[in-house]
A and B are shown apart, each in its own frame.
Chain A
């Protein structure tokens, strides 16, 4: 009788499938890339490399690529407007159908919302948070512009099969505690290079909704991870290939256990996502701006939780509450169910769906000495504007409570 094959991690399964040979952690493989994603910030570079260096007038499979204008959307300057003109022309010329212009939303959100990724696929995104696609158990990973150009020209690229860290989740979130808090807790525990070159798998979260899975998967990027995968169990409406699933006995580089019943709201202080402590520890920190949005926490469930906290309350004097839905669909749903009315009533300002001020380019950048509490994923110096501004990161619930008090507030203390 033949020996049973060695069990594989989710990454090993997906990369074996995509390379056509049995791939284990540490192997270098050439994989077929099922889907590519590129956005306004870096697409002009890709166009130049394709045209000028690779001499590719027409990419062989335009349906493989989804293009987004979300990072500076609508355009903020003549330079960004010109770059977007260049992108639109190229998209037209190439016959790219999956084009999402300003206002449709943040690339990662829309990729999943529109079903442009699927369980078991290999997806290359021209953006570090492409790990988000692990929410539906796709191997999503970020690459640079030249790497993307090469992938578009050939349809394939190389990868080193990563080792995997398994996060074993027990229990359920306490009231007002969100998957973002779990992600921040892990950043504090493992550090921002805790999973460099590795993948992270989350076990014990079959009960978690898609929104929460997206937050967990995309935040693995802050651990330095190459991919963040949620096993495709409890994912309704997604077709899961029969070869994909957790295999008993797969080898993990390490296992980290987290007990949700004991997890309070978390906050990351400047200037690193690993500077994490319970929100209650920052209780006297005053803020000038609160920003709820981004590919991490701009989804409908995030806006709804914020609205539940803000209902019947007002944003504190001297504080600006900026809310940017992650997509047009999220915005529409928030209008339809009354969430938006509650947020506006509390004093929120609503921005165009997209990245907003997340990378400090427009629509709410912060000035010298200002403090922003943000639901985004990074608080590096200068990320949101002035290098002399401060960014604290946390969940939408903590953000809403903070907006009401004008200082960082654990939502249970409101």
Chain B
């Protein structure tokens, strides 16, 4: 089971990981201590591997700091579901292999609720109901399967779509 961590709209990267707590200012090993350190101090303490974040629109807006999604990935967040994501955050999600789904579940799920996340046929199951998530394109599924774009590249020595796109 996954616990739902509910957030509002426009969650910016300064909230996810303030610049002052960047690995540059502290250390890489401490990264897992700081997600939402000021906005929601209990998050880093209580989050468990497999939990999910459900948020309002424009999640991850602000700076390009990849350590923001990386910190969420490092503490074990299994997916983030929001009606929209800021573009660099979305792109970093693909690079890291962190599943991001564009869907609005803020009105139907509750903070702290225990739910089940299905990544194969993307959906959330909670209290006997199923909420489908938009299925990712085939190339993105491959990227997830390899554990992110870098891992994909290391294995295939090319980017997904490369034959088609080049």
The answer to whether A and B assemble together is yes
Binding site for B on A (CB under 8 A): 19-21, 28-30, 40-42, 44-45, 49, 53-54, 71-72, 77, 79-80, 83, 125-128, 130, 142-147, 149-150, 154, 156-158, 192-193, 196-197, 224, 226, 272, 359-361, 378, 380-383, 385, 387
Instruction: Choose among A49, A192, A359 the residue that contacts B63 (Cβ–Cβ < 8 A).
Output: A359
Q: How far is the CA of A176 from the CA of B142 in the complex (A)?
A: 54
A77 CA to B61 CA, complexed, in Å = 28
Closest to B21 in A: A382
Q: A272, B86: Cβ atoms under 8 Å?
A: no
Q: How large is the interface on B (under 10, 10 to 19, 20 to 34, 35 or more residues)?
A: 35 or more
Please tell me which one of the listed residues B61, B91, B161 contacts residue A28 in the complex, with CB atoms under 8 A apart.
B161
A residues near B26, Cβ cutoff 8 Å: 79
Contact B22 A54 (CB under 8 A): no
Asked whether, in the complex, the Cβ of B84 is within 8 Å of the Cβ of A196, the reply is yes
A residues in contact with B95, CB < 8 Å: 144, 146-147, 150
**Contact (A143, B150) CB under 8 Å given A30-B162, A361-B19, A382-B14:** no
**What are 27 residue pairs bridging A and B, where the CB atoms are less than 8 Å apart in the complex?**
A30-B159, A30-B162, A41-B24, A42-B66, A79-B24, A127-B63, A142-B88, A144-B64, A144-B69, A146-B92, A146-B148, A147-B92, A154-B153, A158-B161, A193-B10, A193-B57, A193-B61, A197-B90, A224-B86, A224-B87, A359-B19, A381-B39, A382-B14, A382-B18, A382-B20, A383-B19, A387-B38
Interface centre among B85, B148, B154, B159, by most chain A C-beta atoms within 10 angstroms, is: B159
Between B23, B64, B91, B166, the greatest number of chain A beta carbons within 10 A of the residue's beta carbon is seen for B64
Cα–Cα, bound, A45→B84 (Å): 27
Contact A142 B10 (CB under 8 A): no
Distance A20 CA – B166 CA, assembled complex (angstroms)? 7
Of A42, A130, A226, A383, which contacts B14 at CB under 8 A?
A383
- How distant is A410 from chain B, measured CB to nearest CB, in Å? 27
Q: Chain B residues near A380: list those with CB within 8 A.
A: 12, 14-15, 62
Pair A142/B84 contact, Cβ less than 8 Å: no
Residues in chain A near residue B22, CB distance under 8 A = 41
Given contacts A53-B154, A79-B27, A128-B62, contact A144 B91 (CB under 8 A): yes
Quick check: B150 and A150 within 8 Å, CB to CB?
A: yes
How far apart are the CA atoms of A19 and B10 in the complex, in Å?
Answer: 33
Q: Which residue of A lies closest to B153 (CB)?
A: A150
